[in-house]
Amino acid sequence: QLQLQESGPGLVKPSETLSLTCTVSGGSISGSSYYWGWIRQPPGKGLEWIGSIFYSGSTYYYPSLKSRVTISVDMSKNQFSLKLSSVTAADTAVYYCAGHLPFTMGNYWGQGALVIVSS
- The residues of the shown chain that bind another protein, judged by CB under 8 A, are 45-49, 52, 60, 62-63, 96, 101, 103-107, 109-112
Q: How far is the CB of 81 from another protein (least distance, A)?
A: 19
How many CB atoms are closer than 10 A to CB 61? Answer: 18
Please say which residue, 16 or 62, places its beta carbon nearer to another protein. Answer: 62
36 sits in which H/E element: strand 35-41
Please tell me the distance from the alpha carbon of residue 76 to that of residue 23, in angstroms, as a whole number. 11
- Of residues 42 and 78, the one with the C-beta less far from another protein: 42
CB count, 10 Å around CB of 4?
20
Residue 76 Cβ, how far from another protein at the closest point, in Å? 26
Would you say 7 or 16 has its CB closer to another protein? 7
Task: Kindly state the smallest distance separating residue 72's Cβ from another protein, in Å.
Answer: 18
DSSP letters of 50-112? EEEE-TTS-EEE-TTTGGGEEEEEETTTTEEEEEE-S--GGG-EEEEEEEEETTEEEEEE---
Closer to another protein by Cβ: residue 33 or 103: 103
Measured from the CB of residue 108, what is the shortest distance to another protein in angstroms? 8
